[in-house]
Amino acid sequence: MILGIESSCDDTSVALYNVGTKKIIASQTYNQAKSHAKFGGIVPEIASREHLSQLPGLISALWAESGSSFSDLKAIAVTSQPGLIGSLLIGVSYARALSYALKIPLLGVDHLEAHIFSAFLEQNPPVYPFLSLLISGGHTHLFLVEGFQKYVLLGRTLDDALGEAFDKVAKMLGLSYPGGPELEKIAKFPTDQECKFPIPLQGKPGMNFSFSGLKTFARNAILARMQKQPQALMTAEDLWDKLSTKDQKQTIAIAQGFQKSVFDFLLDRLEKASKITKCGKISICGGVAQNLFFQSRLQNLAQKLAWEIYTPHRQYIADNGSMVAFLASLYWEKDQSLFPNLFQARSISPLSLNACVG
Ligand code: KG4
Ligand code: ZN
């Protein structure tokens, strides 16, 4: 079995993959969102400390869930890049210590590459080639996946990641972290107001993304339209009771306008990418891909254009140890010597450095 460890951001997650049966046999995840809620975003120092305190307990829970133990492990895989440096260090140090103590090999894997393969943890994975859209709190990337280790980066964000933009706009509206799901809840209410956001990078060539201008647009809209500026951060339900009827309507209009703009932008990029690559299989991953408004708009477009959409379930769509263990299994099957025996984590596919085309 291969143990996968993920600690690049604010999810501490471990999973066991059985190389023989090709199945995830156990997984344990701790999400730190509550600890960061009142700050409106992730506090890196808190994230590192939580990883440190949670990891040993999660590993014990993994043995309890699977009925196995350290002696059943063949290898260890850990996310080694990219991510918050303190958070990565906790996972990598823990994995190196285990590898040294158990005298088994260790592989450092690329977080973005692991996300791409979350689509393979489901029953009907996509057949190559397919497009992979990663939209999370730390990353916004669009890849053409031609095969294992054959990835073409079609576009990436030039500034903020999409989840980060969601979190920052939500924070300006008075919503606590993670702001994305809270903003989505607010946007579901009806309103007679409209706040039309611009669509970024209009008329510019290529398939890159940009979201920072929308934050400024949101800031100005909030200052111009809201009677009262938020004093503290809270959930959508709590905020609702504190807003005047006028401010409720404007909050909904701003949330709806922001969502419409970013998802129009994403769908436009996907349509362009699909045309250029002649590929109609699209896999989505990363926390923002949980947004149901986005999923339903994507399904509508998919029906029109005869696309096949692949959406992993909740436990695989956001950060998780299963995708790390699964990706490591592909490297294991390909060439076990890639797993260094020097008890050193090293990454063998620095996706984040790929050249951008288009
Ligand atoms: O993939 P993830 O769990 O962690 C990393 O950032 O790697 O993604 C978290 C991000 C946060 O920015 C969060 O606000 C966003 O995903 N998110 C959403 C939704 N659920 C989570 N954004 C928009 N709509 C949602 N329903
Ligand atoms: Zn991630």
Beta bridge partners of 209: 157
Whether 157 and 31 map to the same domain: the answer is: no
Per the structure, the complete domain to which residue 25 belongs is given by 2-118+316-353
**Mean per-residue pLDDT of the chain:** 93
Distance 194 CA to ligand 2 centre (A): 33
Per residue in 149-204, pLDDT (tens digit) is: 999 999 999 999 999 999 999 999 999 999 999 999 999 999 999 999 999 999 88
Residues listed for the chain: 358
Residues 191 and 305 in one domain: yes
Q: Do 131 and 220 reside in the same domain of the chain?
A: yes
Shared-domain flag, residues 279 and 142 = yes
Measured in angstroms, how far is the CA atom of residue 164 from the centroid of ligand 1? Answer: 8
DSSP 8-state symbol, 329: H
- 166 and 228, same domain (yes or no): yes
Q: Which of 84, 87, 134, 136 to mutate to test the pocket of ligand 1 (most atoms within 8 A of CB)?
A: 136
Could you tell me the pLDDT band of residue 229, with boundaries at 50, 70 and 90? confident
Do 230 and 161 share a structural domain? yes
Q: Is 236 domain-assigned?
A: yes
In tens, the pLDDT along 87-104 reads 999 999 999 999 989 999
Ligand 1 center–CA 298 separation, angstroms? 17
- Same structural domain for residues 150 and 278? yes
Are residues 111 and 75 located together in one domain of the fold?
A: yes
Answer whether residue 300 is part of any domain: yes
- Which atom number of ligand 1 is nearest to the Cα of residue 290? 26
The reply to whether 175 and 275 lie within a common domain is: yes
For strands 2-6 and 75-81, give the pairing: parallel
| pLDDT over 70 (residue 84) | yes
CA distance 170 to 178: 9
**If phi over 0 gives left and psi between -120 and 50 gives alpha, with beta otherwise, what is residue 50?**
alpha
Q: Is the model more confident about 59 or about 356?
A: 59
What pLDDT does 341 receive?
Answer: 57
Question: Of all atoms in ligand 1, which is nearest to the CA of residue 163?
Answer: 12
User: What span, in angstroms and rounded, lies between the C-alpha atoms of 179 and 181?
Assistant: 6
**CA 236 to ligand 1 center in whole angstroms:** 16
State the closest ligand 1 atom to the C-alpha of 291, by its place in the atom list counted from 1. 26
Answer with the residue of higher pLDDT: 310 or 229: 310
Closest among 14, 121, 7, 6 to 62, alpha carbons compared: 14
Q: What percent of the chain has pLDDT over 70?
A: 95
pLDDT of residue 354: 38
DSSP string, 256-281: HHHHHHHHHHHHHHHHHHHHHHT--E
Task: Tell me the CATH number at 139.
Answer: 3.30.420.40
Residues 171 and 230 in one domain: yes
Look at residue 358 and tell me if it is in a domain. no
Domain count, the chain: 2
Question: In this predicted model, what pLDDT tens digit does every residue of 2-25 receive, in sequence order?
Answer: 999 999 999 999 999 999 999 999
Task: Summarize pLDDT for 313-347 with one digit per residue, the tens.
Answer: 989 999 999 999 999 999 999 888 777 654 454 54
Model confidence, pTM:
0.93
Is the pLDDT assigned to residue 306 strictly greater than 60?
yes
Residue 273, number of CB atoms within 10 A of its CB: 20
Is the Cβ atom of 286 under 6 angstroms away from ligand 1? yes
Distances (CA, A) of 246 to 53, 227, 235, 243, 252: 45, 8, 19, 8, 10
